[in-house]
Amino acid sequence: MARQFPLQRTRNIGIMAHIDAGKTTTTERILYYTGVNYKIGEVHDGAATMDYMEQEQERGITITSAATTCFWKPNEGLNTADQFRINIIDTPGHVDFTIEVERSLRVLDGAVAVFDGKQGVEPQSETVWRQADRYKVPRMCFINKMDKLGADFDRALRSIIERLNAPAVAVQIPLGQENELEGVIDIVRMRALRFKDDKLGAEWDVIAIPAEFELAAQAAREVLIEKVAEIDEDLMARYLEGDTDFSAEEILRAVRVGCLSHRIVPVLCGSAFKNKGVQQLLDAVVDFMPSPLDIDDMVGEDPDDPDKKIVRKASDDEPFSALAFKILNDPFVGQLTFFRVYSGTLQSGTMVLNSTKGKRERIGRILLMHANNREEIKEIHAGNIGAAVGLKTATTGDTLCDAQHPVILERMEFPQPVISVAIEPRTAADQNKLGDGLSKLAAEDPSFKAHTDPESGQTIISGMGELHLEIIVDRLRREWKVEANVGAPQVAYRETITETVKAEGRYIKQSGGRGQFGHCWIELGPSAPGAGFVFENKLVGGVIPKEFVPAIEKGIRDAMSRGVLANYPVIDCHVAVFDGSYHDVDSSAAAFEVAGSLAFQEGARKAGIQLLEPVMQVEVRTPEDYMGDVIGDLNSRRGSITGMEDVPGLKIISATVPLANMFGYVNDLRSKTQGRAVYTMTFKEYQPVPRNISDEIIAKAKGE
């Protein structure tokens, strides 16, 4: 089947923002105007197409990133002759679901950041922006809710420039504000668009810029002209000679180049709920966002030789390679594996290699997803996003590829869970269903972990926050019919090494016939905070055969997962194996695994172990009258205030507070501020626990 849309007419974008900035509503309007939906679904009615889980419709928030495909023929811009294929992923804005944002950004080419016109940049906006920085995703902004009381475009734009350190420049400004919002002013073509309310925003009148907006439009135009002149040498030469009469096409081309090279973040505005500015946003997606050809080629590694790099270009003629970025359990078709094709084509019924796991699997059916509706297709091409039915072993972050041309694409990084609760099924029948449910949920969501505590026998579930775990328990009840009691939240502490030491692990066992022999020396020390576990092979001269080195690493990882001080996993350490010995007959992988584990335990005791706790970045928005109470309360929770900001009628207090002291904060904050303050909390980093508190935690863990 021939490709319908060439790669240059394909866009893979994410819609990302803080909770309640209007992402899902914006996506709903996009689906309406591109003809996917014939009726607009509203979030507050629980009818939004992209929010298809029951919990999402009840809570009015987006939990999982729904993927959908739509088609758009631009009204204006650099290419109005052709239709474009736009694959959209709507991501959640709630901090507990950062994993969904993380894996979406990994497979997208560009992102639209939606901001609330009244609030501007909010804490989760910063978190998401940093994630997009890490994946080098080109971005554009849509300042939404310009019809809202208190909306202020200039303040929102300033907050993007100052708080996100973004090279943001307006290509539109609003025509009116709050309940006077009539449309947008196009700064590129210097004219105004007034939307017809009776046509649901599908039609608008092009008018001259009203006199009261001329000054603001002229000022925005000067900033835009200066920015595009910095991007394009020819425009800069004209600009320096005093010629600033650039054509719309010249400006759009320069903005596109600037956007793709991260030197410009174009900013648009409107009100998705009031149907103003969404079609112009779609035109801008086509004009400014990259196609799969505009982004760097994928660089993977050879499964047999990790030092050998393999390049995969975005082309149908290259060998097939794709990245699985999400697993969903569908009640009708079973496990769905969402994947992004980076190169080549894939037909349904084909055998593929999961190079991450080293297993071959057959692709049953390929589906094109539209939120929770699906369309079966026979073939999928480079640059597209689809879902496969029938894959058993694939998990998030796995590479799928042509077995004749194996490659492992760059893996995703997932945050470690910061909060745990014990969960107990109410009946024996619930016990069996619980195991099945938890294993499927853990496959779907890598930031969720479940394990059995070896001492108490309890099932412990861990996640990114209280809401995250609440929704997991809710899904167990709805989808697996498991009734369970949930314990009080527990903090996920960690341990780390503080000094560099050398340690020996020796395992010798003689038990009639063949014995066991494993012996290694390791150097153990701290790695940079956040660097995780770094393992290095410094063996020379074949003192240990290289086939036993992975077993030593496995033994070390195993010992790290059990901890030393209080049975909490060890993080951020660097281990180098540099010496050892082996026996021709008695040595085995199992013996070296034990030796590695013993060496780590020995070294960790010598190296000085420290207990770490998750510290959260907290932002509280409170009326000024309650500021003293709020700050006093944060200080009493071992918090340290990191910043204060004024917005009309409110004080914004930023602080870092240990998670252990934040349980139940929402109720305390409500009672101190008569329910008028709100807060958000995001994981910041692990920090050492003060000595007096750490002694208590260790004693409790050891049952003293």
- For the segment 83-134, what is each residue's pLDDT rounded down to a tens digit? 898 888 767 655 556 666 777 787 889 999 989 898 888 766 777 787 788 7
Please give the Cα distance from 88 to 26 (Å, whole number): 11
The better pLDDT of the pair 148, 36 is held by: 148
pLDDT tens track for 628-680: 999 999 999 999 999 998 877 788 999 999 988 988 787 788 888 887 787 87
pLDDT of residue 184: 94
If 0-12 CB within 10 Å is exposed, 13-18 middle and 19+ buried, where does residue 490 land?
middle
At 317, the amino acid letter reads D
The domains of the chain, with CATH numbers, are: 7-288 (3.40.50.300), 298-401 (2.40.30.10), 419-487 (3.30.70.870), 495-607 (3.30.230.10), 612-701 (3.30.70.240)
pLDDT of residue 370: 64
- Report in angstroms the alpha-carbon separations of 635 from 307, 502, 655, 658: 49, 41, 9, 11
pLDDT tens track for 218-231: 999 999 999 999 99
In 3D space, the residue among 144, 124, 143 whose CA is nearest the CA of residue 132 turns out to be: 124
pLDDT of residue 446: 79
Strand 484-486 to strand 419-425: parallel, antiparallel, or no bridges (unpaired)?
antiparallel
Task: Map tokens 């004009």 to a residue.
Answer: 287
Please give the Cα distance from 165 to 126 (Å, whole number): 10
Strand 494-497 to strand 484-486: parallel, antiparallel, or no bridges (unpaired)?
unpaired
Dihedral sign, CA of 69, 70, 73, 75? negative
* Global model pTM greater than 0.85: no
Residues 6 or more apart whose Cβ sits within 8 Å of residue 107: 12, 89, 323, 325, 340, 385
Q: φ, ψ for residue 616 (rounded to 5)?
A: -105, 145
pLDDT of residue 65: 46
Using the predicted structure, report yes or no on whether residue 254 has a pLDDT greater than 60.
yes
Q: Considering the chain, what percentage of its residues have pLDDT values greater than 90?
A: 41
Please give the Cα distance from 480 to 214 (Å, whole number): 60
User: Which of the given ranges, 127-141, 297-311, 547-561, has the highest pLDDT on average?
Assistant: 547-561
Residue 200's pLDDT band (boundaries 50, 70, 90)?
low
pLDDT of residue 61: 43
Residues 6 or more apart whose Cβ sits within 8 Å of residue 461: 420, 421, 423, 438, 448, 449, 450, 469, 472, 473
Opening angle at CA 554, ends 551 and 556, nearest 5: 115
Residues 6 or more apart whose Cβ sits within 8 Å of residue 554: 593, 596
Q: φ, ψ for residue 56 (rounded to 5)?
A: -70, -40
Flag the least confident range among 272-276, 368-372, 552-556: 368-372
Query: What is the largest distance, in Å, between two alpha-carbon atoms of the chain?
Result: 98
Beta bridge partners of 537: 577
User: Which of the given ranges, 23-32, 199-208, 417-426, 570-579, has the highest pLDDT on average?
Assistant: 570-579
Using the predicted structure, report yes or no on whether residue 62 has a pLDDT greater than 60.
no
CB 151 within 8 A of CB 277: no
Residue 590's pLDDT band (boundaries 50, 70, 90)?
very high
pLDDT tens track for 331-350: 677 788 889 999 999 998 89
pLDDT tens track for 500-544: 999 999 999 876 667 899 999 999 999 988 888 999 999 988 899
pLDDT of residue 156: 94
